[in-house]
Structure 1
Amino acid sequence: MFVHRIGTDIVMKKVELRHAEELFRLMDRSRSRLRQWLPFLDITKSIEDTRNFLKYSMDQNAANNGCQVGIWYKGEFAGIIGQHTINWSNRSTSIGYWLGDGFEGKGIMTKACYAMLEYSFLDLELERVEIRVATGNLKSKVIPERLAFVQEGCIRHAEWLYDHYVDHFVYGLLRDEFLHMTKKS
């Protein structure tokens, strides 16, 4: 099983069916805040819906088409980070992430994103990682900016969120840029 430790407080593990209840509780507890930016909250109404997501994630991993990773902070399930899919022809992926209520502002997601970049660039030898962020999601957009992603543009009406469209900033990071960044630190 994939386990990645970041310091003493953060553990990242691939999500499994046994995490369904814990993941659902976190999502449900954080629903009102997350719903502002995530399109799947209204269709995730039960632990069974969460199990279906986890089954999809396990199939995705088995097909070598990306992974979804749970983030635990001081032993508590804190959020998810994952690759949406991997385009092996172009050696690229995009990543998405969210943290539950009470876990924001601790640097958890920046560290988790960095670990996902290490996995994507060093282990999988991908060429490009992209992050798309709703233009109004200021907390989320800080993460790629901290990690030296380049803001490459804005996609208008990129995503339907319940009753309106949101625009997305597109951030990209190339393998050489990541390797250069890691040599500096």
Structure 2
Amino acid sequence: MKLEISKGVCLTPIKISDAEEVFAVINTQRTYLEQWLPFVPHTKEKQDTVNFIKSVQTADELLQTTFVIRKENRFAGVIGFKNYTAHSNRVELGYWLAAQYQKQGLMIRSVRNLVRLAFEETSVNSIVIKCAEENFPSIAIAIRAGFTYTELEENGEQLTVNTYRDLMVFKLTKRHWKTL
């Protein structure tokens, strides 16, 4: 499955052959990425990225799929669904972009396309995005995509052994999405 989201920009399910590019960005942009992504300090070598890809690559349905974002066939970032809860038909959407691809509209278009796909092609009823309180670009994406702030998840994400970060939780329901 390949999703064209705009001219020269597409989403494709992540695969092992993406590991080198993904790891290269993580490795060269550690200082920038580890502000927001708790997995970065634990991603020390390419094999760590391969292991991650293997763990998500077995997904056989959209609500478990992780995609790479490519601009003009170059790796730009990752976006994907996780933590699907069947009893509430709720799924979380997570994303990150390499620094040089920020502020180009790639992420908002990616989020909107995956939200549309999830609501039109699955039975999911709500999608959640969780952002660190200080991650203003990520918060702006959630708001621009029509998500509504619902709560603060205190100590929602562990950064180091004794360090936690509060997360802002944004939610979009299928009913609200239809009115956007």
TM (norm. structure 1) is 0.92
Hey, what's the Cα distance between the residues in 2 that align with 1:119 and 1:66?
Answer: 13
Corresponding position of 1:51: 50
Hey, what's the Cα distance between the residues in 2 that align with 1:67 and 1:178?
Answer: 21
Question: Where do 5+ consecutive residues of structure 2 fail to align?
Answer: none
Aligned residue pairs total 179
Q: CA deviation at 1:85?
A: 2.4
Q: Does the C-alpha gap of structure 1 residues 11 and 150 become closer, same or farther in structure 2, counting only changes over 3 Å? A: same
CA RMSD of aligned residues (A): 1.4
Which stretches of structure 1, 4 residues or longer, exceed 3 Å deviation after superposition? Answer: none
Indicate the SS of the match to 1:130: strand
One of 128, 141, 144 as aligned partner of 1:143 = 141
Q: CA deviation at 1:65?
A: 5.6
- Given that 1:130 and 1:171 are in contact with CA atoms closer than 8 Å, whether structure 2 keeps it comes out as yes
Corresponding position of 1:107: 105
Deviation readout 1:35-66 (Å, 9 max, x if unpaired): 0111111111111111101100112x137761
Please list, as runs of the form range in 1=range in 2, the aligned pairs for 1:1-185 lying within 5 A after superposition: 2-59=1-58, 61-62=59-60, 66-162=64-160, 164-181=163-180
Indicate the SS of the match to 1:110: helix
Q: CA deviation at 1:104?
A: 0.3
- Given that 1:127 and 1:174 are in contact with CA atoms closer than 8 Å, whether structure 2 keeps it comes out as yes
TM (norm. structure 2) is 0.94
- Given that 1:29 and 1:101 are in contact with CA atoms closer than 8 Å, whether structure 2 keeps it comes out as no
